[in-house]
Amino acid sequence: MTRNNGEVWLVRDPSFGDCGKAKIVDHLSADPRVAAIVRFNGGDNAGHTIVVNGTKIAVHAIPCGVIRNLEHPVLSVIGRGMVINLTRLFAEMTSLRERGISVIPENLLISEGTHLTLTYHMALEKARETSNSRKNTTSRAISQTYALARLYQGVRAGDLRNLDRMSELIDLPLAYVNAILEKVYGLTAVTKDEVMAEILAYREQLLPFLGNEIIVLNRLLKQEKVIICEGAQSGMLDPDLGIYPNTTASNTWPGAIQSGCGLNPRWITRDVIVVKAFTSRVGDGHLVAEIHNETADLIRQKGQEYGTSTGRPRRIGWNDQVVGRFCAMVGPGTELAITKVDVLTGIEPLRICTDYLLNGRLIEIFPTTVDELNHCQPVLEELNGWTKDITGVTSWNELPLNTQAYLMMVAKPFDCPISMVGTGPDRKQIIVL
């Protein structure tokens, strides 16, 4: 089966997240050929922010298409590779509606194959937060939901259509989680009434949004439309290709779109890799090129580097070319979008991490294990900075020569052309090449 002349565009982050994918998705979605934007992985642990005329709008589980839908019809799709928390999903819908953004079944499709994060998942997450083995997470029970799904104890959105069947499906995972809560953590069990109460509170509202995204998306491709796949999290947080266990719970590379929403990766015609002009990371894991002085504080403040979902301050590092080379090897893209270069104005000198030293030995590719990564030291190359304010610049030729040289250096390991440069938070503050 072919895509019948429609196009699939993928927007993804090869690094550690928070690179500004939403800004790029939003820009691309202005194309009138774009008919749908689909999320295919993760859950509301993502925080995607768009700034429209100075107003910041954040989405977590719902794709960015609901914002562009104010201008032309774009279907937002929550694919079956995602997990959704009913309480948080409907709170997000309410927040968007309060801003005048329509969220209705005509512009939001939720896959009936999407797994649900329920009361007992959250109870297990909270129990882990109190233990010494707690991983630094967003406290959204994302990993617990995926884990129970892989144990064949998941509950999917489509199961809400049959309440009797739903009631039966809950019994096994509820017993499993309660055994852990009581015997491992010494906590009170979750009752079935609590779980069903949450489901019944949202069931009737959810049912009109449910459908089979595979059928809908393939129909759009036959109509020669463009579908944008909006990646969540990032390449180095992939549970298989990242540094396990300091990863996310869902796969993040291009192949994930096939299981996440039923689109063949071979149909991707634009694969946009989004990198930030510097590096940031939130949560656990060694950041090799991390900055530990006032420069990090300055970049964090200027770039507003705080988690959209959690508010946690992000750790700041220099641009990391070792990560870039890994991306070019494992999942090369067709083009590169570089964001937040304006944040680096006035930083002197600038540095880029070109290689890692592991126990004094030069390595050129990203390591596999936590132990190896923890022993890596950065090899840094200095570049001249610039002082001219480039906020809002929309032409490459308006950029200082040092800015241009820096951007070309950032792009070097990816072996694909720069197509966009973000010069500020607003959707209009972008250079298109």
Which residue in 13, 18, 271, 320 is the catalytic one?
Answer: 18
Fold designation for 7-112+210-272: Adenylosuccinate Synthetase; Chain A, domain 1 (3.40.440)
Question: What's the average model confidence in pLDDT over 94-111?
Answer: 95
Domain 7-112+210-272 shares a fold with domain 275-432:
no
What residue numbers does the annotated binding site for GTP cover?
A: 47-49, 314, 340-342, 422-424
| pLDDT in the model for residue 272 | 98
Which residue in 13, 26, 44, 48 is the catalytic one?
Answer: 48
User: Which of 9-13, 67-71, 332-336 has the lowest average pLDDT?
Assistant: 67-71
Tens of pLDDT along 251-280? 999 999 999 999 999 999 999 999 999 999
Burial of 29 (0-12, 13-18, 19+ CB in 10 A): buried
Higher pLDDT, 303 or 71: 303
Q: What's the whole-number average pLDDT of the chain?
A: 94
Higher pLDDT, 312 or 100: 100
426 as an active site residue: the answer is no
| pLDDT in the model for residue 68 | 85
Tens of pLDDT along 65-97? 888 877 889 999 999 999 999 999 999 999 999
Tens of pLDDT along 32-65? 999 999 999 999 988 888 888 888 888 999 998 8
What residue numbers does the annotated binding site cover?
A: 18, 45-49, 138, 233, 248, 308-314, 340-342, 422-424
User: Which pTM does this prediction carry?
Assistant: 0.95
Q: What whole-number percentage of the chain has pLDDT above 70? A: 97
pLDDT at 309 over 90: no
Tens of pLDDT along 291-301? 999 999 999 99
121 as an active site residue: the answer is no
CATH label, 115-205, candidates 1.10.300.10, 3.40.50.2300, 3.30.360.10, 3.40.50.150: 1.10.300.10
Q: Tell me the domain boundaries of the chain.
A: 7-112+210-272, 115-205, 275-432
Tens of pLDDT along 361-375? 999 789 999 999 999
| pLDDT in the model for residue 3 | 63
pLDDT at 134 over 60: no
Tens of pLDDT along 397-420? 999 999 999 999 999 999 999 999
| pLDDT in the model for residue 365 | 84
Question: What's the average model confidence in pLDDT over 328-354?
Answer: 97
| pLDDT in the model for residue 414 | 96
Tell me if 23 sits within 8 A of 287, measured CB to CB. Answer: no
| pLDDT in the model for residue 308 | 67
Fold designation for 275-432: Adenylosuccinate Synthetase; Chain A, domain 3 (3.90.170)
| pLDDT in the model for residue 135 | 62
What residue numbers does the annotated binding site for substrate cover?
A: 308-314
